[in-house]
Amino acid sequence: MTAWRVEGTLRDFPRFKPIDIWYQWPVHVIDDGGTLADVELNPKKKYNKKKGEKVKDSSGKNKEKRRAELAIAYNKCLIEDGFVRIGRLIEMYGKSEDSTKRHLNECSDIYVKDKDGYITLIEREGGQDK
């Protein structure tokens, strides 16, 4: 069973009140009980028109959230192991290897990875870490 909301505009007439409908093949039934009236739709989601998928939002909020999550994972590794290697960071971060590496590259102003897979903080002037 699926639920549908029918909305529309008729030319030269005001919009009509949305109609909530339950659909169970082969019958459509109008929701007279008002069960679907409380369902909140989220029209602010952005979708890729060609694929019908949600478009990834790479806004500043998400970037800052990723930076914070990466910092937490980095610090956990540092506390537990005394050093940070890429494999352990991936494990602590809880994301895929590709995502972790991509997010680490986004933070290239904070972290640097050497050829042996060790990750260190980039020191600021004055000897303090970021």
CATH topology of domain 60-121: Arc Repressor Mutant, subunit A (1.10.10)
Tell me which H or E stretch contains 4: strand 2-6
Q: Structural domain boundaries of the chain?
A: 2-38, 60-121
Per-residue pLDDT, averaged over 103-120, amounts to 86
State the pLDDT at residue 54: 57
Per-residue pLDDT tens over the stretch 73-93: 888 888 888 888 888 888 888
Cα gap 20→2, rounded to integer Å: 11
pTM, rounded to two decimals? 0.49
Per the structure block, which two tokens stand in for 97? 């290897």
pLDDT > 80? residue 58: no
Q: For the chain, how are helix, strand and coil distributed in percent, rounded to 5? A: 35, 20, 45
Cα gap 104→86, rounded to integer Å: 10
What mean pLDDT value characterizes the chain? 80
State the pLDDT at residue 82: 82
Q: For Cα atoms 46, 49, 52, give the angle at the middle one, nearest 5 degrees.
A: 80
pLDDT > 50? residue 130: no
State the pLDDT at residue 43: 58
Per-residue pLDDT, averaged over 50-63, amounts to 63
- Crossing angle of helices 60-81 and 86-93, rounded to 10°: 120
